[in-house]
């Protein structure tokens, strides 16, 4: 048995073009300035791409398990509880997966200094957390629902409320950065980013599911969301 990372070899299969953006997207002008004009290169995969850091928390420590706060430090906005499960393509949980989550406040403003949107800052809201998945691949975050906001210089494009996710799977090529959307928001229909996923079923999986309201902690709406990172176990040699 080799001592390489990970212990179980992962297989990475080609992406399905219907379930992934193809790079340049109508209505999203920056993709025309930044996505390569040349076709992407094919390469053989070696141990370099099919390994990855074991225990990323050695370099990235967990920060802020709760973004909503309590009492007079409570952030303004509708309280939500995000239950996100990280699994691989076999459906197996990815325990120890590091998950970064960030989103704007209930007025549509990010904490980032580059956000010049005129919406107010909420002194009790700092919209960035880094969490580590438990044995079942679950990460939970208590926060407030982000607002929609207009994209600067984008001819009336409003981003629907969404939550950014940055996730590490088992190997370098499992890395995933994506966004989670809320069910039933009319802006979802026209969003250039969500609709870059052409396959309707794949797109629907980018939208969280509202859990029955009696199930959650008091005062919060619970949203369930599943993230599938690339990679499955190498085929077993057993019959």
Partner 1 sequence: MKRLVPSGEMTLGPFFPREFAQGAFDLTSVGGRKAEGEIIEVRGRVVQLDGTGLDNAVLEIWQADHQGRFDNPGFFGWGRAATDGDGNYLFKTILPGAPRGRAPHINFLILYSGLMRQLQTVMFFSDAEDPVLHAVQPAALRRKLVASKDGNSYRFDIRLRGDGETPFFDD
Residue list 136-175, contact with partner 1 (CB under 8 A): 164, 166, 172-173, 175
Active site residue 159: yes
Q: What 3-state class would DSSP assign to 130?
A: strand
193 binds partner 1 (CB under 8 A): yes
Strands 138-144 and 158-159: unpaired
Binders of partner 1: how many residues, by CB under 8 A?
A: 80
Prior bond to 81 cis, omega within 30? Answer: no
| Binding segment (CB under 8 A) for partner 1, from list 53-61, 72-80, 136-144, 207-215 | 53-61
* 226: Cα separation from own chain's centroid: 9
Least Cα distance to 229 among 79, 47, 6, 39 occurs for 6
Dist. CA 54–CA 6, nearest whole Å: 7
Enumerate the H helices of 92-225 as residue ranges. 200-204
53 binds partner 1 (CB under 8 A): yes
Active site residue 149: yes
List binders of partner 1 among 75-114 (CB under 8 A): 87-91, 100, 102, 104, 110-114
212 binds partner 1 (CB under 8 A): no
> Of the candidates 8, 26, 32, 190, which one interacts with partner 1 according to CB under 8 A?
32
Tell me which residues are annotated as active site. Answer: 110, 149, 159, 162, 164
């Amino acid at each position: 048995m080799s001592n390489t990372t990970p212990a179980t070899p992962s297989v990475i299969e080609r992406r399905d073009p219907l379930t992934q953006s193809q790079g340049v997207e109508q209505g999203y002008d920056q993709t025309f300035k930044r996505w390569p004009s040349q076709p992407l290169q094919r390469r053989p995969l070696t141990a370099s791409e099919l390994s990855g850091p074991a225990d990323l928390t050695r370099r990235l420590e967990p920060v802020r398990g709760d973004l909503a706060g309590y009492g007079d430090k409570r952030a303004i906005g509708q309280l939500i509880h995000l239950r996100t499960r990280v699994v691989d393509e076999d459906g197996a949980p990815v325990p120890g997966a590091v998950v970064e989550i960030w989103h704007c406040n209930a007025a549509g403003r990010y904490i980032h200094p580059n956000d010049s949107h005129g919406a107010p800052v909420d002194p009790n809201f700092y919209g960035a957390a880094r969490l580590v998945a438990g044995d079942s691949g679950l990460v939970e975050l208590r926060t407030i629902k982000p607002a929609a906001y207009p994209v600067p210089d984008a001819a009336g494009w409003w981003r629907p409320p969404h939550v950014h996710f940055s996730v590490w799977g088992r190997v370098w090529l499992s890395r995933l950065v994506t966004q989670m959307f809320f069910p039933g928001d009319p802006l979802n229909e026209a969003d250039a980013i969500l609709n870059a996923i052409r396959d309707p079923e794949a797109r629907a999986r980018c939208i969280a599911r509202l859990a029955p309201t009696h199930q959650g902690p008091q005062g919060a709406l619970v949203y369930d969301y599943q993230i599938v990172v690339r990679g499955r176990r190498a085929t077993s040699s057993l019959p």
